[in-house]
Amino acid sequence: MFQDRAIEKYTMVPGHHQGTCASPKDQSIKLRADETIYSEGEYALAIYQVEAGAVRIYRLTSNGQRHILSFCGKGEWFGLESGNVRTDFAEAICETRLRSFRTNQEAVVPIDLLHIALTNLAKAQCKQLIISEQSALKRLAAFVQEMADRHPEDAEFDMMMSRSDIADYLGLTVETVARSFTKLREKRILRLAGKSQRMVRLLDRDALIALTI
């Protein structure tokens, strides 16, 4: 049952990018917010690199809880798995552009799969340290710092993910995430803006780092 959907989904992809790309040599896939890239149980036929936007990788537990394993921003790779069947879900968080590479056929441009795997391993280990922090404020501080590191030049940046995404990433509830954000605001560490309070302006980076220690 899963496999049929997987193949169907994959074969949809060419049509997908034909609609959005002018040049035939441009292999990028464009996705709207919350669009699915792949789902658990599908055949793993390709790996992806984020050209623009952001992606969430998550799993669903048997009791229906969602655990976000990682967020992938510009330049990051995802979709490389040990088996040939997907163990998780991948969705675009916002409007997103991807490049896909089939893993079964020999790549024209050789891809360093080992490097990608080790980078993702390092990311996963780093995240383990974050969610092992017992304090919610510490976890959120670490998360904000991680997000801020992706925009080193900008004074203000868009997190793009919802409070619910952040909660499922940090192993907290939406309410504690919101409360921790107001604590960061009260401490004058950051300022929130935008329609859904997802625009972050860092006021005191040192204080933020001090929190994560």
Partner DNA sequence: CGTCCTCTTGAACTATCTCAACAGTAGTGG
Partner DNA sequence: CCACTACTGTTGAGATAGTTCAAGAGGACG
Residues that bind DNA (CB under 7 A): 134-137, 162-164, 171-179, 181-182, 192, 195-198
**Among DNA, its own copies, none, partner that 196 touches (CB below 5 to 8 angstroms by kind):** DNA
80: contact with its own copies by CB under 8 A? yes
CA angle (163 as vertex; 157, 167 as ends), nearest 5:
120
**Among DNA, its own copies, none, partner that 192 touches (CB below 5 to 8 angstroms by kind):** DNA
**Among DNA, its own copies, none, partner that 61 touches (CB below 5 to 8 angstroms by kind):** its own copies
**Among its own copies, DNA, none, partner that 63 touches (CB below 5 to 8 angstroms by kind):** its own copies
Pick the binder of its own copies from 7, 107, 122, 193 (CB under 8 A).
122
140: contact with its own copies by CB under 8 A? no
102: contact with its own copies by CB under 8 A? no
Q: Rounded CA gap, 171 and 8, in Å?
A: 33
12: contact with its own copies by CB under 8 A? no
Pick from 100, 110, 147, 105: nearest CA to 127: 147
CA dist 24 → 19, 28, 48, 97, 98 (Å): 11, 10, 18, 16, 15
**Among its own copies, DNA, none, partner that 103 touches (CB below 5 to 8 angstroms by kind):** none
Pick the binder of its own copies from 13, 52, 85, 131 (CB under 8 A).
131
CB of 80 to its own copies, least distance (A): 7
Q: Rounded CA gap, 168 and 180, in Å?
A: 15
Lay out the sheet containing 55-60: strands in order across: 36-38, 89-92, 55-60, 66-72
CA angle (66 as vertex; 189, 135 as ends), nearest 5:
35
What would the DSSP string read from start to end of 136-196? HHHHHHHHHHHHHHT-SS-SEEE--S-HHHHHHHHT--HHHHHHHHHHHHHTTSEEEESTT
CB of 203 to its own copies, least distance (A): 23
CB of 69 to its own copies, least distance (A): 5
Residues near its own copies, by CB under 8 A: 59, 61-63, 67, 69, 80-82, 87-88, 113-115, 117-122, 124-125, 127-129, 131-132, 134, 171, 213
